[in-house]
């Protein structure tokens, strides 16, 4: 592995993308960007990052923000527990570290929402500690340059790759970690054909020399996806719509349109909703989470008076103050047409 390290490091220093969180090595900036980048493409994160930093420029501001406002800032990024954990960690940093980001790998790893990958990234980039940051990109590049037909979903393999990389880490661990990740993101890409012609390792990479790059890495584990059906009630009273805070399960504590499990008939809806003045079947949507698939249909229902423990709010209020998960966004777009 040693012979690849300098090639990756030099390539990164010459070719790294100009990204807003790379302007400095402030751990707050690196931390927020790393959490946003989990499950989200870089291009999509840039605007969110700017908006977040404008409103919450410091750890203290993050520790004091109201949860609803925080979730609104996070709206569209999904996996909202990431945002809640940011705030929890910020409160701990304010209380236990006097507002200064902790500087050891173990302390960083102990913060809510920070796993080994993120702790490795922050501690190497910001504090130059000899720690690795192993994500899917890094494992793919490692397996290809070493022509290893390994199953990277296997935790023992992940551990082994981390150990191999750690043995060969250069002093500039932060730039090396970012370099191998970036190589996996832009050159040694997943699926399809990696761009070996542009790769600094093309004369050394074992998989490329043996024409095996597309066969590596192997993935044996298939994620089991369960399916659920929902009926949404798009309740309208005057110019206001009913929202409800989800109490359990996936998206707990997020705002949603009132709903019930299963596909309900007109008759069944009429039995549940009082004061109906009109009702019509509306759009359907399928939303796919990592392990779940929601099949959602909906009814537009006008009611004569507000009822229940819902928040009755108008469209501009929803846009400004209520974070709706993306599963519900097609329904929000649909009710906007009626205003
Ligand atoms: S030569 Fe091709 S397969 Fe090998 S590391 Fe570079 S891009 Fe990946």
pLDDT at 79: 87
CA 144–ligand 1 middle distance (angstroms): 6
> Of all protein residues, whose CA lies closest to atom 8 belonging to ligand 1?
188
pLDDT at 191: 77
pLDDT digits (tens, 9 = 90+) for 150-181: 989 889 999 999 999 999 999 999 999 999 99
Question: 200: Cβ below 6 Å to ligand 1?
Answer: no
Looking at ligand 1, which atom is closest to the CA of residue 199?
6
Examine the residue annotation and report whether 280 is marked as an active-site residue of this protein.
Answer: no
Task: Dig out the tokens for 36 from the structure.
Answer: 């946003």
Centre a 10 Å sphere on the Cβ of residue 214 and count the other Cβ atoms it contains.
Answer: 11
pLDDT digits (tens, 9 = 90+) for 279-313: 999 998 999 888 899 999 999 999 999 999 999 99
Question: 256: Cβ below 6 Å to ligand 1?
Answer: no
Question: 7: Cβ below 6 Å to ligand 1?
Answer: no
Residue 211's region, left for phi above 0, alpha for psi from -120 to 50, else beta, is: left
Q: What is the residue whose two structure tokens read 């974070």?
A: 323
Q: What band does 132 get if pLDDT is binned at 50, 70 and 90?
A: very high
Asked whether residue 220 carries a pLDDT value surpassing 80, the answer given is: no
pLDDT at 160: 96
CA 87–ligand 1 middle distance (angstroms): 39
- Distance, CA of 164 to CA of 141 (rounded, Å): 13
For Cα atoms 261, 266, 268, give the angle at the middle one, nearest 5 degrees: 50
* Active-site residue, selected from the candidate residues 14, 34, 163, 228: 34
pLDDT at 303: 97
Long-range contacts of 212-216 (CB under 8 A, 24+ apart): 212/147, 213/144, 213/188, 215/149, 216/140, 216/143, 216/144, 216/147, 216/148, 216/149
Task: Dig out the tokens for 114 from the structure.
Answer: 């920070």
Q: Give the chain's domains with CATH numbers.
A: 2-215 (1.10.340.30), 226-336 (3.90.79.10)
Question: 141: Cβ below 6 Å to ligand 1?
Answer: yes
Question: 138: Cβ below 6 Å to ligand 1?
Answer: no
Ligand 1, residues 149, 184, 213, 216: which to mutate, most atoms within 8 A of Cβ? 213
Name residues whose C-beta falls within 8 Å of residue 253's C-beta, 6 or more positions apart in sequence. Answer: 67, 80, 245, 246, 247
pLDDT at 223: 66
Question: 194: Cβ below 6 Å to ligand 1?
Answer: yes
Task: Dig out the tokens for 319 from the structure.
Answer: 């846009």
């Amino acid at each position: 592995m040693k012979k690849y390290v300098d090639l990756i490091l030099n390539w990164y220093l010459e070719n790294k993308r100009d990204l807003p969180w790379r302007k400095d090595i402030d751990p707050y900036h690196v931390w927020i960007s790393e959490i946003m980048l989990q499950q989200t493409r870089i291009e999509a994160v840039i605007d969110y990052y700017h908006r977040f930093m404008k409103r919450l420029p410091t750890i203290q501001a993050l520790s004091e923000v109201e949860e609803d406002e925080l979730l609104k800032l996070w709206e569209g990024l999904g996996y909202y527990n990431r945002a809640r954990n940011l705030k929890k960690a910020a409160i701990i940093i304010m209380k236990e570290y006097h507002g200064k980001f902790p500087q050891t790998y173990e302390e960083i790893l102990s913060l809510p929402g920070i796993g080994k990958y993120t702790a490795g990234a922050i501690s190497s980039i910001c504090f130059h500690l000899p720690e690795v940051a192993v994500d899917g990109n890094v494992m793919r590049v490692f397996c290809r340059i070493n022509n290893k037909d390994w199953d990277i979903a296997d935790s023992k393999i992940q551990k082994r790759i981390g150990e191999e990389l750690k043995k060969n880490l250069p002093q500039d661990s932060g730039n090396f970690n970012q370099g191998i990740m970036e190589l996996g993101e832009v050159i040694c890409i997943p699926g399809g054909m990696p761009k070996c012609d542009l790769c600094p390792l093309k004369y050394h990479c074992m998989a490329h020399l043996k024409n095996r790059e597309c066969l590596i890495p192997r993935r044996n584990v298939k994620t089991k996806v369960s399916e659920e059906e929902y009926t949404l009630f798009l309740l309208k009273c005057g110019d206001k719509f009913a929202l409800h805070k989800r109490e359990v399960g996936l998206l707990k504590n997020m705002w949603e349109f009132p709903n019930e499990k299963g596909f309900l008939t007109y008759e069944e809806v009429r039995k549940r909703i009082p004061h109906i003045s009109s009702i019509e079947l509306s759009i359907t949507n399928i939303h796919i989470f990592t392990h779940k698939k929601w099949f959602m249909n909906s009814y537009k229902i006008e009611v004569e008076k507000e009822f229940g423990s819902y928040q009755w709010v108008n469209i501009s209020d929803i846009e400004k103050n209520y974070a709706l998960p993306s599963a519900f966004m097609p329904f929000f777009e649909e009710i906007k047409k009626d205003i």
